[in-house]
Chain A
Amino acid sequence: MKEGKEEIELIKEGKRLDGRGFDELRPIKIEVGVLKRADGSCYFELGDNKVIAAVYGPREMHPRHAQDAKMAVVKFRYNMAPFSVDDRKRPGPDRRSVEISKVSREALDPVIMREYYPKTAIDVYVEILQSDAGTRTAGINAASIALADAGIPMKDLVSSVAVGKIDGEIVLDLNAIEDNHGEADMPVAMVARTNTITLLQMDGRLEREEFERGLKLAMGACHQIYELQRAALIDRYSESVDVGEGEA
């Protein structure tokens, strides 16, 4: 990480390598209900990240001894497809994906009203089809929409984005090159309406002042993402149906 820093110039003439400003998100594309057999699903694109989230449940919890008599159990699986990165990723769970699954579940947990479905399991599967840094945030955004789509009772949606430091500047939403050669990366997930942070991790070093500035930047971006998430869900049911259809 540190060796590469000198070799690659990440900021040229006040712009990032992909032409973005410091506080600019990558393009986002959201599609709701893409999987027919899932109870809720969402396809989410964040720049070159392509992820799909599927929610099954509430359904019977197996194994039985892991049931909670008072509330539903949320299970979250983050998985990277072997073809999602340049060098083939060895399939199956590894240290990294187990950690991401855990923190993502905990990022969504505070909004899910689990007490409405005692003894059941809610399964959330996030598959990373293509990766370009920031997949956990894309996964959380997608999962939150898929949960709503599945009709799970929730207090709010969760929105997520990362901030980082490249060439000494605090920037929003790092891509893979910036992540690999930058000085810090900090994913944030939060409930936009209440400004409640549900996930905060940091890799690298930030000054206290930089941290605060970065967090503020991320929180602002979460509000932007929240609006997109909300719009994607609303739009799904606002398409007008032709009244004259079905005429022979």
Chain B
Amino acid sequence: MYKVVVPGDFISEAASRAGEGTYVEDGKVYAMRYGIVDERGGIKVVPLSGKYVPAEGDVVIGRIAEISFPFWIVDIASPYEARLHMSEFADTRDEKIEFGSMSRFLDLDELIVAKVTNVDVVMRVDLALKEDFNLRSGGRLIEIPHTKVPRVIGRSGSMVKMLKEKCNCFIFIAKNGRIWVRGREDNMNLATEAILKIASESHTSGLTDRVADFLDSLKREKGRR
């Protein structure tokens, strides 16, 4: 069973095991966030809500929000905006990117998959494009709170594996809570419903089985019609 804690709740005496989402006062571990206690490994509080803060190495789905030579300013579903430097594109093209022509390569509102290469002390976030993911070839974007991402992936990928099999879709989950789904229209609808269900019931146990049943019943219903 999951144990829900609120900020200030006493969790443990083992100060040396205190991890993320906790703080130590007088040698005791207290919760720092409203969330679920996870005592595997260290003592962590997995938050139930909150904003995404980029960290180096994260792979995110971003939206081009602004073009300001020589950067694209990218919205990454976070309080902090990220920048993608022009040279990210220039190296792979014969054409030189000139001032004013950046929108020809990536236009406003376009979606990209990128890796966070650096986050500095003043929270300037730099991105590197991951061109092996091309979102231009169709699909659908689903946004959920980034805190629910681990549940959509499941323990060692069990949930996402099940989703892919049952929905027959390509599913890519980015760290910032944006999910890309590509497949047939009705399959994408199925995947969308399942993902939103996971997000709203992320705090319950036995979720993978329940979502599998849910998908089966949806499919059956559809077959009957």
Contact = CB atoms under 8 A, between A and B. Distances in A.
Given A117-B53, A151-B48, A155-B30, 17 more contacts: A58-B51, A111-B8, A113-B23, A118-B123, A148-B7, A148-B34, A151-B49, A151-B50, A153-B32, A154-B33, A155-B7, A155-B25, A156-B7, A237-B203, A245-B210, A245-B214, A246-B210
B130 to A, nearest CB: 25
A151 B217 contact: no
B213 interface: yes
Interface in B9-60: 9, 21, 23, 25, 30, 32-36, 47-51, 53
B221 interface: yes
A57 interface: yes
B201 A241 contact: yes
B132 to A, nearest CB: 30
Given A155-B32, A157-B7, A241-B204, A118 B122 contact: yes
Nearest to A147: B7
Interface in A116-140: 116-120
Q: Tell which of A117, A193, A245, A248 has the most Cβ of chain B within 10 Å.
A: A248
B8 A157 contact: yes
Contacts of B23: 113, 155
A167 interface: no
Interface of A: 39-40, 57-60, 69, 111, 113, 116-120, 148-157, 191-193, 229-230, 233-234, 237-238, 241, 243, 245-248
Interface in B192-213: 201, 203-204, 206, 210, 213
Provide the main secondary structure of the chain B interface: loop
6 contacts: A60-B80, A116-B53, A148-B33, A233-B4, A237-B48, A248-B217
Contacts of A117: 51, 53, 79
Interface of B: 2, 4, 6-9, 21, 23, 25, 30, 32-36, 47-51, 53, 79-81, 122-123, 147, 201, 203-204, 206, 210, 213-214, 217-218, 220-221, 224
A119 B123 CA distance: 8
Contacts of B79: 57-60, 117, 119-120
A238 B4 contact: yes
